[in-house]
Amino acid sequence: AGPRNCVGMRFALIELKMALVRLLKTYSIVDCGDQTCKPFVNLKEYIVIAPEQVIVRLQRRDEH
């Protein structure tokens, strides 16, 4: 489709990346270390294979 396919889609992807960068500047992803965090179960397949839910534990970074 090329670079002129959809300007809105490209803008949305850039916005998503910026939100992720901002989130990861403030928080770190840490290991759960207990039984509440299970590997991906109940995978659903529509267009792509994706889990029903993903549990992520975040810890606020130090503000040094």
**What counts of helices (H) and strands (E) characterise the chain?**
1, 4
What is the Cα–Cα distance from 34 to 12, expressed in whole angstroms?
Answer: 35
* Per-residue pLDDT, 35: 59
pLDDT band with cut points at 50, 70 and 90 for residue 64: low
What is the Cα–Cα distance from 22 to 43, expressed in whole angstroms?
Answer: 29
pLDDT band with cut points at 50, 70 and 90 for residue 29: confident
Listed by start position, the domains of the chain span 28-63
What is the chain's mean pLDDT, rounded? Answer: 81
pLDDT band with cut points at 50, 70 and 90 for residue 46: confident
For residue 44 the two structure tokens come to 């659903």
What is the Cα–Cα distance from 57 to 24, expressed in whole angstroms?
Answer: 12
Helix or strand run (H / E) with residue 17: helix 7-26
